[in-house]
Amino acid sequence: MPTYDFICNDCHQRFEVFLTFAEYGKTTVKCTLCGSKNVRRRLTKVRIAKSEESRMETMADDFSGFEGLEEDPRAMGRMMRKLGKEMGEELPPEFDEVVDRLEKGQSPEEIEKEVPSLSGDSSEE
């Protein structure tokens, strides 16, 4: 049975209702909190599952024209942000810090000097 998302216009409660296709549009929906009929349907995001191969193909298409990326930290940051989202995996907070710095125009060399723990070199100078 499909789940439909609603929001109450009176108390602003969000709730779900299970309805068959035959019931949808014919059954009166009431707020699960206050019982009001003054409700509206919420449109939710649609998620599409992609295979690993499909994600890699998308990334290859998106990033095929990035020659000279090392001269443009902002473009590198945008590319890394998109790559991180496309991977669909939880990335460490250091990733976000590096991407934020790149998007602000900081060069990879400057980032490495300011945050030596990101370089993977544990030796102190």
What's the pLDDT tens digit per position in 55-114?
Answer: 667 666 666 556 667 678 888 888 888 777 776 677 777 888 888 988 898 888 888 888
Please, what are the domains in the chain?
3-41 (2.20.28), 52-119 (no CATH)
**Residue 35 pLDDT level (bands cut at 50, 70, 90):** very high
Which pLDDT score, from 0 to 100, does residue 59 have?
A: 66
The average pLDDT across 37-49 equals 79
The average pLDDT across 34-53 equals 80
* DSSP summary character for residue 33: T
The average pLDDT across 27-43 equals 93
d(CA 36, CA 58): 46
Which pLDDT score, from 0 to 100, does residue 122 have?
A: 47
Local structure of 124: helix, strand or coil: coil
How many CB atoms are closer than 10 A to CB 37? 11
**Residue 32 pLDDT level (bands cut at 50, 70, 90):** very high
